[in-house]
Amino acid sequence: MSGAGAPETGDIDGRGLNVVIVAGTWHETISNGLIAGAERVLNEAQATHRLVRVPGSFELALAAQAAFAGGADAVVALGVIIRGGTPHFEYVSAATTDGLTRVALDAGKPVGFGVLTLDDEQQGLDRAGLEGSKEDKGAEAADAALRTALVVRDLRG
């Protein structure tokens, strides 16, 4: 984990943007850290937002699709997938990534990708924006969603 090359964050005017955070419930401590980081960024940007919880990462794409159908300008997708001893990790990681990409392209609106794909729990704790964490991937996903929503809005006039 490096974080090297990450863009600067902050100073976003998100007023007028409606954002939905969709978050899985697996690995509660990590998930809650991701949510807190995303909510902090959205609050600082003064974007309207709400949180929707889904059972796991696989369900994020459908919830994101529903959020866009309900008028969201952007979605922040947060989930935690930890590698186990079976191929399940690869299937869920690929399906989640592909599903969220498809939803974003079909809607023509951004999905901030805050789904952590990890070898172990410690990697998630290091990225969850918790006290002692090295990174805050929830905040980064919210920042990316806001910035992209503003770019899309500008491009479409």
Identify the residue whose tokens are 């990174």: 135
Single-letter code of the amino acid located at 64: A
In order of 1, 61, 110, 157, the CA distances from 152 in angstroms are 30, 20, 8, 9
- Other CB atoms within a 10 A radius of the CB of residue 44 amount to 17
Residue 44 tokens, joined:
């600082």
Among candidate residues 88, 90, 91, 134, the one labeled active-site is: 88
Tell me the C-alpha distance between 118 and 32, whole Å: 16
Residue 27 is among the residues annotated as catalytic for this protein: no
The catalytic site residues sit at: 88
